[in-house]
Amino acid sequence: MPSYSTVIHWFRRDLRLTDNTALHQAAQDAAQVIPVYILSDWQKRHAWTGSIRQQFLCGCLESLDKNLGALGSRLILRCGQADQELEKLIKETKAEAVYLNRDYDPYGRDMEKKVEEVCHRFGIPCLTYKDRVLHEPDEVLTGSGGPYRVYTPYSKNWLSLEKTAPQGKPTTLGKAPAKDLTSHPLPDLGHWKLEPTQASLPAPGERAARQRMKDFIESRTLNAYAQKRNIPAGVTTSRLGQDLRFGLISIRELYTRCSAATSAQSPSDDQKSVATYLKELAWREFYLAILWHYPEVFDEEFAPEFRGMPWPGSDEQFQVWKQGQTGFPIVDAGIRELLATGFMHNRVRMIVSMFLTKDLHCHWRLGESFFMQHLVDGENASNNGGWQWSAGTGADAAPYFRIQNPWIQTKTYDPEGTYIRQWVPELRGVSPERFTAPPKDGRSLAPGYPLPMVDHHEERDRTLAIFGKHRETK
C-alpha cells in the first residue's frame, strides 16, 4: 500500500525517467506522482544563460513530457521562483510530500532550503536524494575529515568507494494530474527573450542521450579512450557532457555499463581505457565538491595567494579571441567549434583558456562567462574548475608557471591539422606544419586569416613576471 495518495516530484537536473532516484522512490511511495518542472523567469539578468543550452533544455522538456505521456502522466510546467511555485502546487494538488534530487551548487542548495521551509510550513516532508553524483561532497574526505584540495588523492579515494547500482524506470506514476491543473506551455527561446541559435546541437532528450551512451560504450571510442582522448579531430571522447549536465542519463548507469565493458580477459589497452574514462568521471565530482566546500570560487581565486592579482589584458584582445581571429589556428578552431556546435574538445578547452589567461592576460572570469554562454554542457562547477586550472589559480597541483605553448600543443595533438582545417575553412589549403609555429616570413597563412596577435614567448615571460610579482607582495 502506498504511504501517500499524491506527491510532487520536482525535476531539476534529472530530466529522465530511468534510474531517477527521487522519482523512483516517489512512484513507490505514492498512488499519484505530479511531475513538475519550474522554468526560471530569467530575463537577461544573468550573463551565463545563452541560447545554445536553453535550446537544448527546451528539447529535453518536450521529450520528458512525451515520456511522461507514455506512462499516462504529463509534465506540469510552472514559471517563476521554485519555492513559490511549489507552494502554490502543494495547495492546488493537496500534495502530501515533495520529492527531489539534491543539487550541489550554491543556488541549488539555497532553493532546496527554501523548499524545505515551505514543506515545513505545510507540515509535509521534503524528501531529498543523492542522484546527480556517485559520491556526494561529504562522502569523499581526507583522513582528517576535511575536503580535498587536489584531484589525484581525491580520485583515488573516490574510485575506492563502493558504487550504487542503477535501478530501472517506474512503470506508472498513477493517474495523470487533473485536467484543470494549469501548466505553462512548453517553452521556446522566446521565453527567455533569447535569439534563435544557428549552432548544430546534439539531439535532446533521454532517448537520444541513451543512444549516445550506448554508441560510446559499444563502438571503439571507449576502448580507444586512453590512447585517443586528447586528439581533438573526430569523435575521441564520449560527448556525454550535456547528458550528465541535464541528467538525461544516470551517472550510476554510465559508470556500471562502462565498468562492465571490459573484464580481466580483455586486452590490456581496453582495460586501461575504461579505467581512464572512469577516472575522468571523478573530475566532475571533484569540481562539484570544490564548489560545495569552497563556494567562494565563483567570486575569487581558489588559491588565496592569487587573489587580487592584476589581469591587464584589454577588451579588444578579448573580442578578437571571442571571434576566433587570434591568428593561432588551434585557438581559433576551438572557438569556432564552440560557436558552431556548443561543444569544444577538452584538450582544446585547455589550450584556448590558457591562451586567454596566459598569452592575453585577460581575467579567467571573462572566459568562464563566455564558455557558460555557449557550452551545451556548461556546468558551473566544472567550468569554474577548468578555468581556474588553466589560469593557474585553481584547485590543482598544476603550478601557474606551467604554461602550454599553443604551437607545440598543435604539433602534439593535431599534427595533420585535421581539426584546424575542419573549423577554420580559410586554412584548408595550408600544409599542417605551418600550424605548428608562427609564420617565419611574417606573412599570413591564408588570405583573410590574421597574423598571430601576440608572441607566445614574450607573453609567457610577462605572465611569469605578473604572477611572480604578485606572490612577492603577499
Catalytic (active-site) positions: 280, 283, 311, 346, 364, 387
Site string for ligand FAD, 219-258 (x = CB under 6 A): ----------x-------xxxxx--xx-------------
Select the span of 108-116, 266-274, 321-329, 378-386 touching ligand FAD (CB under 6 A). Answer: 378-386
Q: In this complex, which beta carbon is closest to ligand FAD, that of residue 6 or of residue 383?
A: 383
Show the cell assigned to 409.
600543443
282 is annotated as contributing to ligand binding = yes
How near is the Cβ of 219 to ligand FAD at its closest, in Å? 13
Q: In this complex, which beta carbon is closest to ligand FAD, that of residue 56 or of residue 283?
A: 283
How near is the Cβ of 294 to ligand FAD at its closest, in Å? 16
CA distance 301 to 310: 12
Q: In this complex, which beta carbon is closest to ligand FAD, that of residue 311 or of residue 449?
A: 311
294 is annotated as contributing to ligand binding = no
Select the span of 173-181, 307-315, 342-350, 434-442 touching ligand FAD (CB under 6 A). Answer: 342-350
Site string for ligand FAD, 285-324 (x = CB under 6 A): --x-------------------------------------
Instruction: Count interface residues toward ligand FAD (CB under 6 A).
Output: 28
The single residue among 49, 353, 393, 463 that binds ligand FAD, judged by CB under 6 A, is 353
Question: Residue with CB nearest ligand FAD?
Answer: 386
449 is annotated as contributing to ligand binding = no
The reply on whether position 334 binds ligand FAD by CB under 6 A is no
Select the span of 18-26, 142-150, 282-290, 421-429 touching ligand FAD (CB under 6 A). Answer: 282-290
The reply on whether position 158 binds ligand FAD by CB under 6 A is no
Tell me which residues touch ligand FAD (CB under 6 A). Answer: 229, 237-241, 244-245, 280-281, 283-284, 287, 346, 349-350, 353, 371, 375, 377-379, 382-383, 385-387, 390
Binding residues for FAD: 225, 277, 280-287
